[in-house]
Each structure stands twice: as structure tokens, then as C-alpha cells.
Structure 1
Amino acid sequence: MALPYGYVKAKIVSAPQLKATRRPHEVQYHLHFGVTVNGAQWDIAVNVGTTDADDLLKYKLVFDFNHSMLTTLEGAAEGQTDLTGTEALPAIDFERSDFLANTGAWRNSDVMDGSEQVEPVASLQRLLLRAQQSSLDVYVFGRFYSEGDGIHDVHMNQGSKGEFIHTAGNDANDHNDIWQDGALLVDLGDPEWALYVAAFDQQYVPTDDLGNPMPNSQPIS
């Protein structure tokens, strides 16, 4: 079963804050910021890294992003767009679409230490502050909170192993899925757009129709 997925088009109303989430074998870090969606404040949680040197974040931060999908986003209404079960753009799939064509190589994040000087925290925070101060349109793709208003899983959402394996009919949270990859885009003013996408070292491609790693899969590179 597909998890609730889509995007919001909104303006940032609270400055990004770095927050830690403790997991069994690591601490994951997110930049949280607020946006207003139909009069309600939503929380956005964007993955920026981990303390686990064996499962670092890979990311792309592109300031000259260009794709035909941007026309669709520009024409979209402000607020929430539900794309659950959609298997075509504007739903995002890094493996099954050309969304990341011509965006360059993946970069390795720093090992997170709780500071804001490491990458991609520092660069992404500057971008988000610019978006807030200039009232720029921000588009956040990911999974909707199961409780409360917000979006998380703003990273690749397929290719993981272990507890994330997707079995048919499974509606548990955080399993693999196709056409549910996360992304953050900022309209910097025609024709300039910025894109941030992320994945983890321990996510593998190619994936099958459920989003699980294929037998011949390898870490993304």
C-alpha cells in the first residue's frame, strides 16, 4: 500500500532549526522549518545527515536546476497537492524518471556533529533563510505526517533493506515505495531554481516495482 505522499507549495514562515532524532545506531539530523498551508502552520523536516559514518547521506544541491516539470509547479495552486499512487511526474522517482538528469554527481555529507557548520547543513540553511527573507515559493516533496500537519522523508524513499522492505499490502510507515522520492525546490526567480535531494549510502539501486533493491543492486553513486 502506498504511503500518503505529495508536496506543498508555500512560503517559509519560521527560520530553519537543526534538530536531532536518536535512532538505535545513529543520530539523524533534520532542518525543520514552518510553512503556512491553507491557514495552518506545517512542520517541514528535511534530512541533512547522520552521525553514522557507515551510512552517510549523499546529496545534491543544485542552483541552476532546470526541468520541464517546473512549468507544472509554477502553475500549481499554493498549498497541498496529494500525489499518493501517482506513477508519473510531478510525483518523483529518481530511478524511473529523468528528474535528476544533468544535476551532476552525488556529494557525500559530512559526519554530523550537531553543529551548523557542516555540509549540507550550512549551505541548505543559507538557501532556506534566503527563501524566507525574500518570500520565495518553496516546494517540498515527501510523505505527509501521519499525525499533525507536515512533511518528512524528504529523501529517496526506495532501495532500503531490513525493516524498510516493502511487502504487498503492507501499510506500515516508512517502507520502500516507487514514485515517492523526496525533494526540496526553491523558485529563485525566473529562470533560476535551486534543488536539494538526498539519499543514504545504504540505499541500493536498481529497485523493483515495490521499491525494494533488486538482487544485482548497488549503492547509489
Structure 2
Amino acid sequence: MPFENYGVLAGTLHRHFRDDPDDQGRWFHVHLEVDTPAGRYACAIDVDSKHSSIGVQWKVFTLYPSVLEPVDAPSPGYHDLARASGSGALDYLRHPALADRTGFLFRRRPPRWLQGLLDRLSPPRPWISGSYLEASQALEPILVPGRQVLVFGEPFDEGLGMHNVHQNQGDPYGTQWWDDNGIWQDGATLVRRPDGRYDVFLSRFSTQADATDQDGHPLPPH
């Protein structure tokens, strides 16, 4: 089943820190502490396992707030979002500001003239693959204490916190995450710059598909 609860947390970044190194093979996180009127939220940003063969992929880029409407400047605190287009929810494969046009809209590479036009209008943002350490190092420069942040994902069942701050669709059949697949429920970390734009960090795991059906399950390869 898709997430029962999905939304965005808006607040002020207090600090961030990494998991302590150990040999337990846990999923590795960069942790954010975000201040809101309700209290300080703990946000766990997955950047893969220290011993996993799955691998992590990420993107870092900048967006104008208008592309995030209607959640471009939410009031501080947690806000539930409907898992649907137009609600403010994010979908890496369907949101016009995030989607890989070639992979989702066309299912195959478009004609060269059209690809050139699309690239000029909105430059492609390829996924970067690497280790949990490289992913952490890519995320941390945008985490400036005192700046406004938006954290999209699933709220904790108990206490103030957010997790599943990554792609939440496209997991393969037979995995423990298959039942969590769903569209318009992807996670992300956004930090507001002094000029009003947002620095954006997206992450996913290398086993997650880049084309999914309306249930968020992987589409068969062509």
C-alpha cells in the first residue's frame, strides 16, 4: 500500500549530523534538526547503507519557488499533502520540475531536434551514482543552519520527525519495499537560498525503476 501519510515539513534548519560509523550495516542517514512552532523535528535523509550492494543515486540543483506551488512557501510546521498532481506533492517521474522528460514522457529518446529544444528550455539533470559518503558530501553544502527548509516524506508514527525522504516508487517485485510503492509521494530536501530560490537534493536507490505505472510499480522494460 502507498503511504497512509505523506506531506511536507517547513521550518528552520537548526543543525545536521551523520550517523555514527559502526559495523552493523544499518541504512546510513544524514540527520536534520528542524525548528517549528510545534517543536524540533528529526529528519532522517537516507543515503544508502555502508555495506549495501544496492547503491545510491542523487541530484543537486536549484529551483525557483513558483514551480513548487501551492507549497512554495508553506507556514512553519507539518502539512499533509494529497498524493496527487497539483497538491504540492512531489513525484520524480511526473512533476514537471523534476521529471526526466526522456524517460517518462517519451519512453524512448525523442528526435534529435526535439531533444535539443528540450535541453535548452530545461537542461537535463542526470543522476549521479556513488557511495553513501559521496552522497552525504553532496547534500551537506546546502544544509546551512538558520535557513528555511522543506522536507518532503513520511512523518513518524510517533514523535516529531520525517523519514522516507527519497524516491518512494519503482521498487522491484519481491522486495520488502514493493508494498510501499506509490506515485506522488516522493521525498526531497529543499533549502531556501537568500535570493529566494531553493537548493534541492533528491535521492533514490539504484534498484528503483525510472518508469512506473499508476500504482508506482516498475514498468516492464521495452
Q: Which TM bucket (shorter chain)?
A: 0.7 to 0.9
RMSD: 2.5
Q: Which has the higher helix share?
A: 2
Is the Cα contact below 8 Å between 2:65 and 2:72 reproduced in 1?
Answer: no
Who is 1:171 aligned against?
none
Is the Cα contact below 8 Å between 2:168 and 2:186 reproduced in 1?
Answer: yes
Is the Cα contact below 8 Å between 1:93 and 1:99 reproduced in 2?
Answer: no
Distance 1:33 1:2, change over 3 A: same
Is the Cα contact below 8 Å between 2:85 and 2:95 reproduced in 1?
Answer: no
Who is 2:53 aligned against?
54
- After the TM superposition, which segments of 4 or more aligned residues of structure 1 sit over 4 Å from their partners? none
Q: 1:132-187 CA deviation, whole Å, 9 max, x = no partner?
A: 1xx21100000111122111011000000222223xxxxxxxx1111000011111
Is the Cα contact below 8 Å between 1:44 and 1:151 reproduced in 2?
Answer: yes
Who is 1:96 aligned against?
94
1:186 paired with 2:191, answer: yes
Structure of larger gyration radius = 2
Unaligned runs of 5+ in 2: 100-122
Distance 1:177 1:19, change over 3 A: same
Identify the match of residue 145 of structure 1 among 156, 159, 169: 156
**2 CA distance for matches of 1:123 and 1:202?**
20
Q: Give the TM-score, by structure 1 length.
A: 0.78
Tell me how far 1:54 sits from its aligned partner.
2.9
Aligned residues: 196
1:165 paired with 2:166, answer: no
1:65 paired with 2:59, answer: no
Q: Give the TM-score, by structure 2 length.
A: 0.78
**1 CA distance for matches of 2:169 and 2:75?**
28
Distance 1:203 1:76, change over 3 A: same
**2 CA distance for matches of 1:86 and 1:182?**
14
Who is 1:7 aligned against?
8
Matched residue SS, 1:17: strand
Q: Which has the higher strand share?
A: 1
Who is 2:106 aligned against?
none
Unaligned runs of 5+ in 1: 113-117, 167-174
Identify the match of residue 119 of structure 1 among 100, 121, 134: 134
Tell me how far 1:68 sits from its aligned partner.
3.2
Is the Cα contact below 8 Å between 1:16 and 1:33 reproduced in 2?
Answer: yes
